[in-house]
């Protein structure tokens, strides 16, 4: 049985009950056994085995080890690694091999973590189901007929099925937290700027953030500590000092807010509502204070998010034109034909939909009516959340409106899929840290999740509170 915490893995390595080589092989065996779920688009088998042998040699020699030795990690196919293919699950990046590594990935490798492969995702991170991938959909390990969530669906299932200890994903509007909820694991979206975005293929630059998925808050905290901090290669990375993660930190008497209009949302699944209500009782019985707070911008969250993210996407994705790298259409007579044919053939339907919407809201005559107005609403939402968090420690809310739906069930209803992000986009609009906490399962064994938001750069406090909110499985 593979341990599900880095502390236990490192203890077994220190006591010579486990070698890194054996650990890697166990994970590779798990990957092979779960191939039917379409988790990985590429497994770095030889690299992982070789790196494990090198670490075993270091251990036997008594050499200094990095903080993350024994930590086996999967990486979403949207974060680049030097010498490796990265496609963002899109045909338009077919054949692209990165000449550099993302800063976050490089920091992991320098601390002796092992990257075992890249995981499937929605194309360019655009989706909530992991169905918009050139590689086909990833399936949920709890029920393979259901989606795992998106866009970091492959990342979530890689942890869910114990094919790695930690997965690195990205979160633009819930793409780490929602699949974490659907797969019964923890998923953290840090504060905007906490982790360098250098090497993360951009969808919406003012929203995107590298996130972490794992079995325990402690493991996520240790990973966060290693990959956070200022990066001169990313001007949006924060100068705020990174605190050392303390797994023993306690939050004795927290004050927690919740929004009644979210708990009473007509589309909220009743099992998720019950899980939220149970957590409220748990917090109160543990000495915490829970207060209802009115949030007046509920109806503006999804429209504001999609106006702004599609606008940024239409700009960011203009670089993919078949000229410099990736896929190029061959049957073209002029330069313009090549541009048009490459983008028509290279992008999937959801990416085209968002590019078109973004181009529309940025166009002359509509820029002020949509984009500028959405920016103003975003500012109001941010100010409202900051005001709320001046008086409370945390905000408790659902992660998703629903349990994972059947694969293909909402394929013809993109608006319904967009609306499923109503609770997660709040943290991205405001740049605040947020984590999904597993909240048991429904009667069919389908995972449930709840979400906690805290003040900016308070990830350690958020993780400590997450540990307090242990979950009880529903029978």
Residues 226 and 440: beta-carbon distance below 8 Å: no
Q: What is the pLDDT of residues 389-435, one digit of tens each?
A: 999 999 999 999 999 999 999 988 988 999 899 999 999 999 999 99
Would residue 355 count as lying in a domain? no
Q: What is the pLDDT of residue 411?
A: 86
Q: Write down the mean pLDDT value for the chain.
A: 95
Q: Is the pLDDT of residue 223 over 50?
A: yes
Q: Is 151 a catalytic residue?
A: yes
Is 352 noted as a catalytic residue in this protein? no
CA nearest 134: which of 207, 213, 78? 78
pLDDT at 473 over 50: no
Residue 325 lies in a domain: no
Is 51 a domain residue? yes
Which of helix, strand or coil describes residue 168? strand
How far is the C-alpha of 419 from the C-alpha of 88, rounded, in Å? 23
Asked whether residue 474 is domain-assigned, the answer is no
d(CA 220, CA 216): 7
Higher-scoring residue by pLDDT: 36, 330 = 36
DSSP letters spanning 373-442: HHHHHHHHHHHHHHHHHTT-SEEEEES-SSSPPBTTTTTT-HHHHHHTTTTTHHHHHHT--EEEEEEEE-
The CB-side HSE value for 131 (13 A sphere, CA atoms) comes to 20
**Token pair of 296 as six digits:** 């007046």
Task: Catalytic residue, from 90, 151, 238, 466: name it.
Answer: 151
Cis peptide leading into residue 239 (ω within 30°):
no
pLDDT at residue 472, as a whole number: 39
What is the pLDDT averaged over residues 268-273? 97
Domains: count for the chain: 1
For the chain, what is the largest distance between any 2 Cα atoms, rounded to a whole number of angstroms? Answer: 72
- Look at residue 309 and tell me if it is in a domain: no
| Whole-angstrom distance, CA of residue 121 vs CA of residue 155 | 8
Kind and range of the H or E element at 306?
A: helix 301-316
pLDDT bucket at 250, cuts 50 / 70 / 90: confident
In the sheet with 186-189, reading across from the earlier edge strand, the strands are 40-43, 114-119, 72-76, 166-171, 209-214, 186-189, 434-441, 447-454, 394-398, 255-258, 289-292
How far, in Å, CA of 103 to CA of 295, rounded? Answer: 37
| Closest by CA position to 115, among listed 175, 7, 64, 43 | 43
Domain CATH code at residue 130 = 3.90.1300.10
Q: Give the residue numbers spanning the domain of 78.
A: 6-227
Residue 370: closest CA among 307, 305, 299: 307
Write down the pLDDT at residue 331: 87
> Which residue is listed with tokens 């941010």?
382
**Three-state DSSP class for residue 75:** strand
By three-state DSSP, how is residue 454 classified? strand
Output the CA angle 195-201-202, nearest 5 degrees.
85
* Model confidence at 163: pLDDT above 80: yes
Q: Taking the CA atoms of the chain, what radius of gyration do you get in angstroms?
A: 21
- With a CB cutoff of 8 Å and minimum separation 6, the contacts of 281 are none
Residue 279 has pLDDT above 80, yes or no: yes
Beta strand 166-171 with 114-119: parallel, antiparallel or unpaired? unpaired
Report yes or no on 139 lying in a domain.
yes
In whole angstroms, give the CA distance from residue 272 to residue 414. 22
**50 vs 474, more confident:** 50
Among 21, 76, 189, 238, which one carries the catalytic annotation? 76
Question: Within a 10 A sphere around the Cβ of 285, how many other Cβ atoms?
Answer: 8
* Token pair 């807010």 in the structure block, residue: 257
405 is a domain residue: no
Per-residue pLDDT at 42: 98
Is residue 182 included in any domain, yes or no? yes
Among candidates 276, 283, 293, 292, which has minimal Cα distance to 253?
283
Q: How far apart, in whole angstroms, are the C-alpha atoms of residue 380 and residue 382?
A: 5
- Whether 374 contacts 303, CB under 8 Å: yes
What tens digit of pLDDT does each residue of 61-102 get? 999 999 999 999 999 999 999 999 999 999 999 999 999 999
Percent of the chain with pLDDT over 70: 99
Q: Out of 175, 314, 454, 466, which one is annotated catalytic?
A: 175
pLDDT above 50 (res 225): yes
Beta bridge mates, 73: 115, 166
- Asked if residues 155 and 138 have their Cβ atoms less than 8 Å apart, the reply is no
């Amino acid at each position: 049985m593979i341990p599900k915490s880095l502390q236990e893995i490192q203890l077994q390595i220190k006591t010579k009950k486990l070698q890194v080589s054996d650990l890697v092989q166990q994970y590779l065996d798990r990957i092979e056994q779960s191939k039917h779920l379409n988790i990985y688009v590429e497994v770095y088998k030889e690299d992982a085995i070789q790196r494990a042998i090198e670490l075993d040699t270091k251990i036997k020699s008594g050499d200094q080890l990095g903080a993350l030795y024994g930590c086996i990690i999967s990486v979403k196919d949207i974060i680049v690694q030097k010498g490796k293919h990265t496609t963002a699950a899109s045909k338009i990046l077919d054949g692209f091999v990165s000449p550099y590594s993302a800063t976050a990935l490089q920091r992991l490798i320098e601390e002796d973590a092992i990257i075992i492969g890249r995981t499937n995702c929605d194309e360019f991170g655009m989706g909530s189901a992991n169905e918009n991938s050139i590689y086909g959909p990833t399936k949920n390990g709890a029920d393979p007929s259901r989606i795992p969530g998106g866009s970091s669906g492959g990342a979530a299932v890689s942890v869910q099925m114990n094919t790695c200890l930690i997965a690195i994903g990205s979160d633009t509007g819930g793409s780490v937290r929602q699949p974490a909820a659907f797969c019964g694991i923890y998923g953290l979206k840090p504060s905007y700027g906490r982790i360098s975005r250098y090497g993360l293929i951009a969808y919406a630059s003012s929203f995107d953030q590298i996130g972490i998925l794992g079995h325990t808050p402690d493991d996520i905290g240790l990973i966060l500590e290693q990959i956070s901090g200022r990066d001169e290669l990313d001007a949006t990375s924060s100068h705020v000092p990174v605190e050392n993660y303390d797994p023993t930190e306690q939050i004795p008497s927290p004050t927690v807010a919740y929004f009644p209009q979210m708990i009473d949302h007509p589309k909220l699944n009743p099992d998720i509502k019950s899980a939220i209500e149970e957590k409220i009782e748990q917090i109160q019985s543990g000495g915490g204070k829970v207060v209802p707070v009115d949030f007046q911008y509920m109806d503006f969250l999804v429209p504001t998010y999609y106006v702004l993210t599609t606008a940024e996407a239409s700009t960011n994705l203009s670089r993919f034109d078949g000229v410099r790298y990736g896929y190029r259409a061959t049957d073209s007579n002029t330069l313009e034909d090549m541009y048009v044919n490459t983008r028509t053939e290279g992008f999937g339907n959801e990416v085209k939909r968002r590019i078109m919407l973004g181009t529309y809201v940025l166009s002359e005559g509509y820029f002020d009516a949509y984009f500028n107005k959405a920016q103003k609403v975003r500012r109001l939402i941010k100010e409202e959340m900051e005001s709320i968090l001046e008086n409370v420690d945390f905000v408790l809310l659902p992660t998703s409106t629903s349990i994972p739906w059947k694969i293909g069930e909402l394929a013809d209803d993109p608006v319904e899929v967009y609306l499923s992000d109503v609770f997660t986009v709040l943290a991205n609009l405001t740049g605040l840290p947020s984590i999904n906490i597993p909240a048991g399962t429904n009667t069919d064994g389908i995972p449930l999740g709840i979400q906690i938001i805290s003040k900016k750069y308070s990830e350690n406090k958020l993780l400590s509170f997450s540990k307090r909110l242990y979950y009880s499985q529903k029978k």
